[in-house]
Amino acid sequence: MNFIQITDCCYYFHGAVNIGYIKSGQKGMLIDAGIDKGTMKKIVKILKEHEMFVTHLFVTHAHADHYGGAAYLQETENIYTYAPYLESAILRNPILEPLYLFQGNSPLPEMRNKFLEGKPIVVDEEVKEGTYHFGETQFECIALPGHSMNQLGLLINGVLYAADSYFSEEQLHKHKIPFIIDAKDTLNSLNGLKNIDCIGAVPGHGIYETAFQKTVDTNIMYHNTILESILNLINNQNETGITHEDLVSQVCKTWAVNLNNVSMWMLFRTAITAYVTFLVKEEKVKLFIDDNKLCFKKIEIKY
Protein backbone atom coordinates (compact mmCIF):
# COMPACT_ATOMS: atom_id res chain seq x y z
CA MET A 1 0.00 0.00 0.00
CA ASN A 2 1.58 3.29 -1.12
CA PHE A 3 1.11 6.48 0.88
CA ILE A 4 0.94 9.27 -1.69
CA GLN A 5 1.00 13.02 -1.07
CA ILE A 6 -1.09 15.19 -3.45
CA THR A 7 -0.98 18.66 -1.85
CA ASP A 8 0.22 20.18 1.48
CA CYS A 9 -2.58 18.45 3.36
CA CYS A 10 -4.12 15.92 0.96
CA TYR A 11 -2.85 12.37 0.71
CA TYR A 12 -4.13 8.93 -0.19
CA PHE A 13 -3.25 5.33 0.47
CA HIS A 14 -3.28 3.63 -2.91
CA GLY A 15 -4.52 0.05 -2.76
CA ALA A 16 -7.31 -2.18 -4.06
CA VAL A 17 -9.60 0.29 -2.30
CA ASN A 18 -8.12 3.79 -1.93
CA ILE A 19 -8.22 5.53 1.43
CA GLY A 20 -7.87 9.31 1.56
CA TYR A 21 -6.06 11.18 4.33
CA ILE A 22 -6.30 14.87 5.23
CA LYS A 23 -3.76 16.41 7.59
CA SER A 24 -4.88 19.36 9.72
CA GLY A 25 -2.29 20.23 12.39
CA GLN A 26 -2.64 17.75 15.26
CA LYS A 27 -5.73 16.30 13.61
CA GLY A 28 -6.19 13.98 10.68
CA MET A 29 -9.13 12.59 8.77
CA LEU A 30 -9.31 9.31 6.86
CA ILE A 31 -11.68 9.14 3.91
CA ASP A 32 -13.02 5.57 4.01
CA ALA A 33 -11.57 2.73 6.02
CA GLY A 34 -10.76 -0.17 3.70
CA ILE A 35 -12.27 -3.62 3.85
CA ASP A 36 -11.06 -5.01 7.16
CA LYS A 37 -9.08 -4.77 10.37
CA GLY A 38 -5.87 -5.88 8.63
CA THR A 39 -6.04 -2.98 6.16
CA MET A 40 -6.77 -0.46 8.92
CA LYS A 41 -3.91 -1.77 11.07
CA LYS A 42 -1.51 -1.10 8.18
CA ILE A 43 -2.91 2.43 7.67
CA VAL A 44 -2.60 3.37 11.35
CA LYS A 45 0.96 1.98 11.44
CA ILE A 46 2.01 4.02 8.39
CA LEU A 47 0.46 7.19 9.85
CA LYS A 48 2.26 6.66 13.17
CA GLU A 49 5.57 6.14 11.34
CA HIS A 50 5.01 9.54 9.70
CA GLU A 51 4.00 11.06 13.08
CA MET A 52 0.60 11.85 11.67
CA PHE A 53 -2.65 11.72 13.60
CA VAL A 54 -6.01 10.18 12.95
CA THR A 55 -8.90 11.82 14.79
CA HIS A 56 -11.67 11.81 12.18
CA LEU A 57 -13.17 9.42 9.67
CA PHE A 58 -15.41 10.18 6.71
CA VAL A 59 -17.22 7.22 5.15
CA THR A 60 -18.28 8.06 1.58
CA HIS A 61 -20.83 5.25 1.20
CA ALA A 62 -21.95 2.11 3.00
CA HIS A 63 -20.18 -0.58 0.97
CA ALA A 64 -18.19 -3.02 3.07
CA ASP A 65 -14.94 -2.53 1.09
CA HIS A 66 -15.05 1.14 2.15
CA TYR A 67 -16.06 0.82 5.82
CA GLY A 68 -15.07 -2.74 6.87
CA GLY A 69 -11.96 -1.45 8.69
CA ALA A 70 -13.84 1.31 10.54
CA ALA A 71 -14.98 -0.73 13.58
CA TYR A 72 -11.35 -1.59 14.40
CA LEU A 73 -10.34 2.07 14.01
CA GLN A 74 -13.14 3.17 16.34
CA GLU A 75 -12.18 0.49 18.90
CA THR A 76 -8.52 1.48 19.00
CA GLU A 77 -8.48 5.28 18.45
CA ASN A 78 -10.62 8.18 19.55
CA ILE A 79 -12.43 8.91 16.29
CA TYR A 80 -15.18 11.33 15.24
CA THR A 81 -17.07 9.80 12.32
CA TYR A 82 -19.00 11.49 9.52
CA ALA A 83 -21.20 9.64 7.04
CA PRO A 84 -23.91 10.59 4.55
CA TYR A 85 -27.43 10.33 5.91
CA LEU A 86 -29.21 7.16 4.79
CA GLU A 87 -25.84 5.44 4.21
CA SER A 88 -25.40 5.85 7.97
CA ALA A 89 -28.44 3.60 8.56
CA ILE A 90 -26.53 0.78 6.84
CA LEU A 91 -23.28 1.59 8.65
CA ARG A 92 -25.10 1.24 11.96
CA ASN A 93 -27.01 -1.86 10.79
CA PRO A 94 -24.78 -3.55 8.18
CA ILE A 95 -27.14 -6.51 7.65
CA LEU A 96 -29.18 -4.07 5.54
CA GLU A 97 -26.84 -4.57 2.58
CA PRO A 98 -27.20 -8.38 2.21
CA LEU A 99 -30.87 -7.86 3.11
CA TYR A 100 -31.55 -5.42 0.25
CA LEU A 101 -29.45 -7.42 -2.21
CA PHE A 102 -31.62 -10.42 -1.34
CA GLN A 103 -34.78 -8.44 -2.11
CA GLY A 104 -35.61 -7.85 1.54
CA ASN A 105 -35.39 -11.51 2.50
CA SER A 106 -33.38 -12.60 5.50
CA PRO A 107 -30.01 -13.21 3.77
CA LEU A 108 -28.43 -16.62 3.27
CA PRO A 109 -25.49 -17.36 5.60
CA GLU A 110 -23.04 -17.29 2.66
CA MET A 111 -24.12 -13.71 1.83
CA ARG A 112 -23.04 -12.51 5.27
CA ASN A 113 -19.37 -12.17 4.30
CA LYS A 114 -16.88 -9.29 4.63
CA PHE A 115 -17.50 -8.17 1.05
CA LEU A 116 -21.19 -7.49 1.71
CA GLU A 117 -21.35 -6.84 5.45
CA GLY A 118 -18.81 -5.11 7.72
CA LYS A 119 -19.02 -4.71 11.49
CA PRO A 120 -21.47 -2.02 12.68
CA ILE A 121 -19.91 1.37 13.36
CA VAL A 122 -20.75 4.55 15.23
CA VAL A 123 -21.70 7.57 13.11
CA ASP A 124 -21.29 10.80 15.10
CA GLU A 125 -22.53 13.16 12.43
CA GLU A 126 -24.77 12.54 9.45
CA VAL A 127 -23.87 14.84 6.58
CA LYS A 128 -25.33 15.90 3.26
CA GLU A 129 -24.25 18.16 0.42
CA GLY A 130 -22.62 21.33 1.82
CA THR A 131 -19.63 22.75 3.66
CA TYR A 132 -18.21 21.23 6.86
CA HIS A 133 -15.12 21.70 9.02
CA PHE A 134 -12.76 19.46 10.89
CA GLY A 135 -9.96 21.16 12.80
CA GLU A 136 -8.82 24.16 10.73
CA THR A 137 -9.82 22.45 7.50
CA GLN A 138 -12.91 23.14 5.48
CA PHE A 139 -14.33 20.49 3.21
CA GLU A 140 -17.21 20.36 0.82
CA CYS A 141 -19.49 17.34 0.47
CA ILE A 142 -20.70 16.67 -3.06
CA ALA A 143 -23.67 14.40 -3.75
CA LEU A 144 -22.61 11.59 -6.09
CA PRO A 145 -25.51 9.13 -6.06
CA GLY A 146 -25.91 6.25 -8.52
CA HIS A 147 -23.38 3.71 -7.25
CA SER A 148 -25.14 3.85 -3.90
CA MET A 149 -28.21 5.74 -2.76
CA ASN A 150 -26.50 8.65 -1.07
CA GLN A 151 -22.79 8.50 -1.81
CA LEU A 152 -20.87 11.71 -1.08
CA GLY A 153 -17.57 12.88 -2.57
CA LEU A 154 -15.29 15.36 -0.80
CA LEU A 155 -13.58 18.43 -2.16
CA ILE A 156 -10.67 19.51 0.05
CA ASN A 157 -7.86 21.90 -0.79
CA GLY A 158 -8.66 21.56 -4.51
CA VAL A 159 -8.57 17.75 -4.43
CA LEU A 160 -11.68 15.74 -5.18
CA TYR A 161 -12.11 12.44 -3.36
CA ALA A 162 -14.67 10.98 -5.74
CA ALA A 163 -15.53 7.68 -3.96
CA ASP A 164 -16.98 5.14 -6.42
CA SER A 165 -18.66 7.72 -8.68
CA TYR A 166 -16.26 6.70 -11.46
CA PHE A 167 -13.80 3.86 -11.97
CA SER A 168 -10.43 3.66 -13.66
CA GLU A 169 -10.60 2.22 -17.16
CA GLU A 170 -8.84 -0.89 -15.88
CA GLN A 171 -11.53 -1.39 -13.19
CA LEU A 172 -14.34 -0.99 -15.73
CA HIS A 173 -12.89 -3.77 -17.86
CA LYS A 174 -12.20 -5.93 -14.83
CA HIS A 175 -15.79 -5.71 -13.51
CA LYS A 176 -17.31 -5.67 -17.03
CA ILE A 177 -20.65 -4.50 -15.59
CA PRO A 178 -19.96 -1.88 -12.88
CA PHE A 179 -22.08 -1.95 -9.74
CA ILE A 180 -24.76 0.73 -9.82
CA ILE A 181 -28.23 1.03 -8.31
CA ASP A 182 -29.49 3.89 -10.49
CA ALA A 183 -28.24 4.54 -14.04
CA LYS A 184 -29.69 8.04 -14.34
CA ASP A 185 -28.14 9.18 -11.05
CA THR A 186 -24.87 7.55 -12.10
CA LEU A 187 -24.80 9.49 -15.40
CA ASN A 188 -25.87 12.76 -13.74
CA SER A 189 -23.16 12.39 -11.10
CA LEU A 190 -20.55 11.68 -13.80
CA ASN A 191 -21.58 14.73 -15.81
CA GLY A 192 -21.50 16.82 -12.62
CA LEU A 193 -17.93 15.68 -11.86
CA LYS A 194 -16.66 17.34 -15.02
CA ASN A 195 -17.85 20.76 -13.79
CA ILE A 196 -16.14 20.60 -10.40
CA ASP A 197 -13.34 23.11 -10.07
CA CYS A 198 -10.41 21.02 -8.75
CA ILE A 199 -6.79 20.19 -9.48
CA GLY A 200 -7.43 16.45 -9.71
CA ALA A 201 -9.39 13.52 -8.33
CA VAL A 202 -8.88 10.25 -6.47
CA PRO A 203 -11.43 7.54 -7.29
CA GLY A 204 -12.29 4.75 -4.83
CA HIS A 205 -10.51 2.28 -7.10
CA GLY A 206 -7.75 3.52 -9.41
CA ILE A 207 -5.15 6.28 -9.29
CA TYR A 208 -5.11 10.04 -8.66
CA GLU A 209 -5.33 11.89 -11.96
CA THR A 210 -5.20 15.60 -12.76
CA ALA A 211 -6.97 15.06 -16.11
CA PHE A 212 -9.55 12.73 -14.54
CA GLN A 213 -12.29 14.19 -16.77
CA LYS A 214 -11.05 11.92 -19.55
CA THR A 215 -11.62 8.88 -17.33
CA VAL A 216 -15.05 10.25 -16.41
CA ASP A 217 -15.90 10.47 -20.13
CA THR A 218 -14.76 6.87 -20.58
CA ASN A 219 -17.17 5.91 -17.76
CA ILE A 220 -20.05 7.78 -19.40
CA MET A 221 -19.38 6.04 -22.72
CA TYR A 222 -19.09 2.68 -20.96
CA HIS A 223 -22.47 3.03 -19.20
CA ASN A 224 -24.11 4.19 -22.43
CA THR A 225 -22.73 1.17 -24.28
CA ILE A 226 -24.25 -1.16 -21.67
CA LEU A 227 -27.59 0.68 -21.86
CA GLU A 228 -27.57 0.41 -25.65
CA SER A 229 -26.75 -3.30 -25.58
CA ILE A 230 -29.63 -3.98 -23.15
CA LEU A 231 -32.02 -1.90 -25.27
CA ASN A 232 -30.98 -3.84 -28.40
CA LEU A 233 -31.38 -7.14 -26.60
CA ILE A 234 -34.95 -6.27 -25.57
CA ASN A 235 -35.82 -4.80 -28.97
CA ASN A 236 -34.69 -8.02 -30.62
CA GLN A 237 -37.16 -10.15 -28.63
CA ASN A 238 -40.54 -11.06 -30.08
CA GLU A 239 -43.77 -9.58 -28.62
CA THR A 240 -43.67 -11.88 -25.58
CA GLY A 241 -40.53 -10.05 -24.43
CA ILE A 242 -37.94 -11.43 -22.03
CA THR A 243 -38.16 -12.38 -18.37
CA HIS A 244 -36.04 -10.54 -15.83
CA GLU A 245 -34.18 -13.75 -15.06
CA ASP A 246 -33.31 -14.38 -18.72
CA LEU A 247 -32.34 -10.74 -19.18
CA VAL A 248 -29.81 -10.98 -16.31
CA SER A 249 -28.43 -14.20 -17.77
CA GLN A 250 -28.16 -12.85 -21.33
CA VAL A 251 -26.62 -9.52 -20.35
CA CYS A 252 -24.00 -11.42 -18.32
CA LYS A 253 -23.30 -13.62 -21.33
CA THR A 254 -22.95 -10.59 -23.63
CA TRP A 255 -20.40 -9.01 -21.27
CA ALA A 256 -18.59 -12.32 -20.59
CA VAL A 257 -19.54 -12.30 -16.90
CA ASN A 258 -19.55 -15.75 -15.32
CA LEU A 259 -21.34 -15.81 -11.97
CA ASN A 260 -20.58 -18.74 -9.71
CA ASN A 261 -21.82 -17.67 -6.30
CA VAL A 262 -25.00 -16.15 -4.88
CA SER A 263 -23.35 -12.91 -3.66
CA MET A 264 -21.93 -12.14 -7.09
CA TRP A 265 -25.21 -13.02 -8.75
CA MET A 266 -27.05 -10.60 -6.40
CA LEU A 267 -24.62 -7.78 -7.19
CA PHE A 268 -24.80 -8.21 -10.97
CA ARG A 269 -28.56 -8.70 -10.91
CA THR A 270 -28.84 -5.39 -9.04
CA ALA A 271 -26.64 -3.53 -11.54
CA ILE A 272 -28.41 -4.99 -14.59
CA THR A 273 -31.77 -4.14 -13.01
CA ALA A 274 -30.55 -0.55 -12.54
CA TYR A 275 -29.79 -0.24 -16.26
CA VAL A 276 -33.09 -1.76 -17.40
CA THR A 277 -35.02 0.35 -14.86
CA PHE A 278 -33.51 3.44 -16.49
CA LEU A 279 -34.83 2.23 -19.89
CA VAL A 280 -38.27 1.66 -18.33
CA LYS A 281 -38.33 5.12 -16.74
CA GLU A 282 -37.21 6.69 -20.04
CA GLU A 283 -40.11 4.83 -21.73
CA LYS A 284 -37.73 2.98 -24.04
CA VAL A 285 -38.87 -0.47 -22.89
CA LYS A 286 -41.99 -1.75 -21.17
CA LEU A 287 -42.04 -3.58 -17.85
CA PHE A 288 -44.92 -5.96 -17.27
CA ILE A 289 -45.92 -9.09 -15.39
CA ASP A 290 -46.81 -12.17 -17.42
CA ASP A 291 -47.58 -15.60 -16.04
CA ASN A 292 -46.33 -14.34 -12.64
CA LYS A 293 -42.96 -13.40 -14.14
CA LEU A 294 -41.39 -9.96 -14.30
CA CYS A 295 -40.80 -9.24 -18.01
CA PHE A 296 -39.55 -6.53 -20.36
CA LYS A 297 -40.46 -5.91 -23.98
CA LYS A 298 -39.93 -3.33 -26.69
CA ILE A 299 -42.26 -0.39 -26.97
CA GLU A 300 -44.05 -0.52 -30.32
CA ILE A 301 -43.92 2.79 -32.10
CA LYS A 302 -47.31 3.49 -33.69
CA TYR A 303 -47.44 5.73 -36.74
Using CB under 5 A, list all residues that contact Zn ion.
63, 164
Ordered DSSP codes for 172-193: HHHHSS---S-HHHHHHHHHHH
User: Counting Cβ atoms within 10 Å, is residue 31 exposed (0-12), middle (13-18) or buried (19+)?
Assistant: buried
User: Which lies closer to Zn ion via its Cβ, residue 47 or residue 216?
Assistant: 216
Alpha helices in the chain (DSSP H): 37-49, 64-67, 70-76, 87-92, 96-101, 169-175, 183-193, 212-235, 244-254, 262-281
User: Which lies closer to Zn ion via its Cβ, residue 97 or residue 295?
Assistant: 97
CB of 148 to Zn ion, least distance (A): 6
Q: Are 180 and 189 in contact (CB under 8 A)?
A: no
Single-letter amino acid code for the residue at 155 = L
Distance separating alpha carbons of residues 206 and 267, to the nearest angstrom: 20
Distance separating alpha carbons of residues 170 and 2, to the nearest angstrom: 19
Q: Say how far residue 117 (Cα) sits from the centre of its chain.
A: 14
CB of 102 to Zn ion, least distance (A): 18
CB of 163 to Zn ion, least distance (A): 7
User: Which lies closer to Zn ion via its Cβ, residue 82 or residue 296?
Assistant: 82
User: Which lies closer to Zn ion via its Cβ, residue 147 or residue 298?
Assistant: 147
User: Which lies closer to Zn ion via its Cβ, residue 121 or residue 285?
Assistant: 121
CB of 194 to Zn ion, least distance (A): 21
Residue nearest to Zn ion (CB): 63
Backbone angles phi, psi at 286, to 5 degrees: -110, 135
CB of 186 to Zn ion, least distance (A): 12
Alpha helices in 104-211 (DSSP H): 169-175, 183-193
Which residues have a Cβ under 8 Å from the Cβ of 178 and sit 6 or more positions away?
147, 167, 171, 172, 219, 222, 223, 271
CB of 253 to Zn ion, least distance (A): 25
CB of 65 to Zn ion, least distance (A): 6
User: Which lies closer to Zn ion via its Cβ, residue 9 or residue 123?
Assistant: 123
User: Which lies closer to Zn ion via its Cβ, residue 67 or residue 212?
Assistant: 67
